[in-house]
Chain A
């Protein structure tokens, strides 16, 4: 009964989504405000029914209803309740339902938060969001219904891959989806502006917090995925340029560009068509990512069971949504002109460089991700694009980008008189370079050229981001959330840069043989093998090695890696030990028993790897703080209906 209610709720949600898009998009064409008033009701109804559908599927999981095929395939009676709930988005059908639910949440938020905006504009935004919802609901009901039954019902479900039962992995998809889907708000705002044929500074102001919040979720989602890969999979790294990782990283880069170009459109009324294009591309890339992952066109370790029929549906959906938006763009964007100028050293031009470099970085990844497909399509043979391509080509645009951040932050709008801000810029640069050289000399060395460069850039960014807030505090000025958020995000980027630079340049790895009591040195750490002792677990006995790690004569960690023998199976497994500290991870795995108490060991020192996630967290917090800034929510003193753009003539066309 419950699955049928869920199924039925989805159908009702689809009908309401159709109503929402019809009233939202066609309503403004009529003079009657009644049509516009209907839109929020459709939004509310759709939310209620998608929530009901989610609730039904969760209930089926919680109650072990194995007659529901999706439940039987993704949970079994031994699965703890937390993972049974998380199993909902463990596979294709449920994650689509989650996607729809998240879209509905964003739509409700937009409805509630946009009451001060012109009603026609809001109706169009909600109409576009409704159209997206229609597409996803149709897709779910037609090709991927999670409520289908099995007859006869199996007595128990399938056992899940234990790797997937992990906290970080359970919350990673909802975070990522919230980010992906959040970009649909900026997309809908862009479409509504293009339909109306006008885009003013107020528009950019409304769009900014939504984009920033979506970006924050995207940041968190990507960081969680990376953290999981490092700790749980033990892949020995945090980023693999896997197609699915790239699919989430491209929208992130474009969203980052969008945040910055929106700032220019907001403050100066410039970059209008560019901002629109970014808003369209950001969401399009999220959709494209979905297509690539779900259709089987690209295969990756993350792939769900892919089905070409689904691929055809998503492709058609892409053509309608992205093709439609880009057609609208080709038609309307030429009408959005801005004639204000700016100087080379103004903040506008720095943000322009920022945008160009970010888009190049996204394009580089886009090319690398699609290259195997192009090669396949043209029958040029199988092509595999890996870190050898991505690492250097990604650095090319990103290094200058990072260098420009610290200067750009202090440049003024319109007239960039850099001389005025020379002191903080040069001061922080000198300080950063000195610190970087000192750190290299003190803790690491100069063997890798990128190390001092990356360190200096990261430190410079973090220091430069502090200048403005400190200056404001000292002058007794208020410190708006927007500025705090921006500073935090840039500090986070600095920390991330430092982390990635150091991990990539200074990680030391060694396979060595040690007798009991012998020691070896990795960097400033000495690892002493204290010997082995028997240990026992629930279903295994193990040889547990003890390795004490000393630094400067002080014991910093005792690691106990195990070589396990499972009783029944009689086979050996290696359980590595990791000790995490703020400034390094120490890793020991046992190899072979070489006799007479001698063992082969794999030792690693990964400095500053925590900074990678720590930096991402700071960036995310910055995004949230900035996105919640009250300035974006209060209506501007100028009435929002006033048309600031010289494109007023277009309005007649739209009506």
Chain B
């Protein structure tokens, strides 16, 4: 019997591991579907020129200090951004949450025209032509929307187009839970 025990050990170790993984998995949903390693971490530096005044650099941490804000990554080349635009207009109008638009690898003139035509849901729009800041934020494709809390910590990230429904279901509770 003693000889057998030795060979059962790996199975026992594995059972422990499964237990650990199961616990880890049970806790994972609390954190939401994790789409970014940056969630729960301070937002990376964002210092980019304004779309309308390229000579002026906007520092997101300074501008939105002590406020909740959304960082919305978009581009005129991005068809899904067009679908999303209406929802963004509604959200910013109804919920008064400041939205920072990051116009990603785009043509400035086209972006200005887009905002004139479709309306401007953004409090500020910055441009990231080279895409370096987007890389720092872990942007994988447009559209993507980040929720940043008043302490400057990324609370949530949505990959893909935003809708009113997604906003109310996934974003709002996060803001109200911690009392905005």
Does A569 lie within 8 Å of B3, measured CB to CB? no
Residue of B with least CB distance to A331:
B7
B24: chain A residues within 8 A (beta carbon): 295, 297-298, 373, 376-377
Determine which of A155, A305, A318, A334 lies in contact with B79 in the assembled complex, contact meaning CB atoms within 8 Å. A155
Residues from 287 to 329 in A contacting B, C-beta threshold 8 Å? 288, 291, 295-301, 303, 305-308, 311-312, 315, 318-319, 322-323, 326-327, 329
Contacts of A273 in B (CB 8 A): 7
With A159-B77, A161-B139 in contact, is A300–B37 under 8 Å at CB? Answer: yes
Which residues between 118 and 162 of chain A lie within 8 Å of chain B, taking CB atoms? 154-156, 158-162
Point out the residues of chain B lying under 8 angstroms from A569, CB to CB: 48-49, 54, 127-130
In the complex with contacts A155-B79, A568-B127, A570-B49, A297-B28 CB distance below 8 A = yes
What mask results when residues 135 to 165 of chain B are scored 1 for a CB within 8 Å of chain A, else 0?
Answer: 1001111100000000000000001100000
Whether B27 and A377, one on each chain, are in contact in the complex, defined by CB atoms closer than 8 angstroms, is yes
Contact present for A308 and B28 (CB under 8 Å): yes
A63 at the interface (CB under 8 A from B): no
A370 x B142 contact (CB < 8 A): no
A163 at the interface (CB under 8 A from B): yes
* Chain B residues whose CB sits within 8 angstroms of the CB of A632 once the complex forms: none
Contact B141 A73 (CB under 8 A): yes
CA distance A515 to B27 in the complex (A): 56
A329's contact among B11, B20, B25, B28, by CB below 8 Å, is which? B11
| A158 contacts B28, C-beta separation under 8 Å | no
Categorize the interface residue count of chain A. Answer: 35 or more
Q: Are A295 and B25 in contact (CB under 8 A)?
A: yes
Q: What does the 1/0 interface line of B27-59 toward A look like (CB < 8 Å)?
A: 111010111110100000000110000110100
B15-30 vs A, CB cutoff 8 Å, 1 = contact: the mask equals: 1011011111101110
Among candidates B33, B77, B107, B139, residue contacting A156 with C-beta atoms closer than 8 Å: B77
Please determine whether A374 and B20 come into contact, CB atoms closer than 8 angstroms: yes
CB proximity of A414 to chain B, nearest CB, Å = 25
Say whether, besides A156-B79, A161-B134, A327-B11, A299 and B37 are in contact (CB < 8 Å). yes
Q: CB distance A326 to B18 under 8 Å?
A: no
Contact A311 B28 (CB under 8 A): yes
B residues less than 8 Å from A160 (CB atoms) = 140-141
Contact of A159 with B33 in the complex, beta carbons under 8 Å: no
Known: A303-B37, A306-B34. A159 touches B141 (CB 8 A): yes
CB contact between A161 and one of B29, B48, B135 (< 8 Å): that residue: B135
Docked complex Cα distance between A162 and B3 (Å): 57
A539 CB to nearest chain B CB (Å): 7
Chain A contacts of B105 at CB under 8 A?
Answer: 159
Range, interface on chain B: 35 or more
Contact B35 A305 (CB under 8 A): yes
Given contacts A159-B78, A308-B33, A573-B132, whether A330 and B21 have CB atoms under 8 Å apart is: no
Interface check A571, CB cutoff 8 A: yes
> How far in angstroms is the closest Cβ of chain A from B154?
12
Q: B115 CB to closest chain A CB, in angstroms?
A: 16
Docked Cα-Cα span, A417 to B78, in Å, equals 72
Cα of A115 to Cα of B29 in the assembled complex, Å? 48
Q: Is B75 part of the contact surface with A, judged by Cβ < 8 Å?
A: yes
Contacts of B54 in A (CB 8 A): 568-570
From residue A381, how far is it (CB to closest CB) to chain B in Å?
A: 13
A interface secondary structure, majority: helix
Of all chain B residues, which has the CB nearest A77?
A: B77
The distance in angstroms between the C-alpha atoms of A94 and B111, with both chains bound, is 33
Tell whether A333 is near chain B: CB-to-CB under 8 Å: yes
Question: Chain B residues with Cβ under 8 A from A323's Cβ?
Answer: 11, 14-15, 18
Check: A277 CB closer than 8 A to any chain B CB.
yes
Q: In this complex, what residue of B is CB-closest to A315?
A: B21
* B122 close to A (CB within 8 Å): no
Contacts of A301 in B (CB 8 A): 37, 138
B33 touches A307 (CB 8 A): yes
Given A161-B140, A373-B20, decide whether A330 and B10 contact each other with a Cβ distance below 8 A.
Answer: yes
Residues from chain A with a CB closer than 8 A to the CB of B128 are: 569
Q: Is A566 in contact with chain B by the CB < 8 A criterion? A: yes
B119 interface residue per 8 A CB criterion = no
Chain A window 156-172, contacts with chain B (Cβ cutoff 8 Å), 1 for yes, 0 for no: 10111111000000000
| Cβ A570 vs Cβ B55 within 8 A | yes
Complex CA gap A311/B20 in Å reads 13
Q: A158-B141, A159-B105 are in contact. Are A571 and B34 (CB under 8 A)?
A: no
Residues of A within 8 A of B10 (CB): 277, 280-281, 326, 329-330
The answer to whether B7 and A334 touch across the interface, beta carbons within 8 angstroms, is yes
Measured between beta carbons, the chain B residues less than 8 angstroms from A319 are: 18
Q: Which residue, of A156, A323, A374, A568, has the highest number of chain B Cβ atoms within 10 A?
A: A568
Q: How far is the CA of A156 from the CA of B79 in the complex (A)?
A: 6
For residue B127, give the distance in angstroms from its CB to the closest CB of chain A.
Answer: 6
Q: Which of B14, B22, B39, B131 contacts A162 (CB 8 A)?
A: B131
- Residues of chain B within 8 A (CB-CB) of A318 are 18, 21
User: Nearest chain-B residue to A301 (Cβ)?
Assistant: B37
A-B complex: 8 closest residue pairs judged by Cβ atoms? A158-B141, A296-B34, A297-B24, A326-B11, A377-B23, A154-B79, A299-B37, A330-B8
A-B contact pairs, 17 of them (CB 8 A): A156-B77, A159-B141, A297-B21, A297-B25, A298-B24, A299-B37, A305-B34, A308-B33, A315-B22, A318-B21, A322-B14, A323-B18, A326-B14, A569-B54, A569-B128, A571-B48, A571-B49
Known: A303-B34, A318-B21, A568-B107. 11 other contacts (CB 8 A): A297-B28, A306-B33, A311-B25, A311-B28, A315-B25, A326-B11, A329-B7, A330-B7, A373-B21, A377-B24, A569-B48
